[in-house]
């Protein structure tokens, strides 16, 4: 038997066992689609994230923030420096190398 098939069969048995024990099985994709990620993610102890890019042209931080928000990360725990390091240095703010 192929190893993925045996793992899939085992996983199905395991899920059924958890259901028999009274566990609620929640699909992450369904929770996100329904807009209720509280069933799959616990952000009660979420840390404040500070995000910045190389410059205002960079889209990595905004994309990361959008993904975090999609998964329910609290918006008030996300801080974003829009100008990034490029603006930071242009303004003459301190840096270390």
Residue 25 to residue 43: CA distance in whole angstroms: 19
pLDDT, one tens digit per residue, over 25-59 is 888 888 888 888 888 899 999 999 999 888 878 88
Asked whether the predicted pLDDT for residue 69 surpasses 70, the reply is yes
Looking at residue 79, its pLDDT comes to: 95
Residue 70 to residue 28: CA distance in whole angstroms: 12
Query: Residue 48: CB partners within 8 Å, gap ≥ 6?
Result: 77, 78, 79
Looking at residue 73, its pLDDT comes to: 95
pLDDT, one tens digit per residue, over 2-21 is 555 555 567 788 888 888 99
């Amino acid at each position: 038997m192929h190893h993925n098939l045996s793992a899939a069969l085992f996983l199905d048995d395991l899920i059924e066992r958890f259901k028999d024990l009274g566990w609620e099985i929640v699909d992450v994709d369904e929770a996100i689609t329904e807009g209720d990620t509280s069933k799959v993610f616990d952000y009660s102890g979420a840390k404040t994230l500070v995000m910045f890019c190389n410059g205002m042209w960079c889209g990595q931080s905004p994309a990361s923030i959008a993904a975090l928000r999609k998964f329910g990360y609290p918006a008030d725990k996300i801080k974003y420096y829009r100008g990034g390091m490029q603006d930071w240095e242009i303004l003459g703010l301190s840096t270390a190398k």
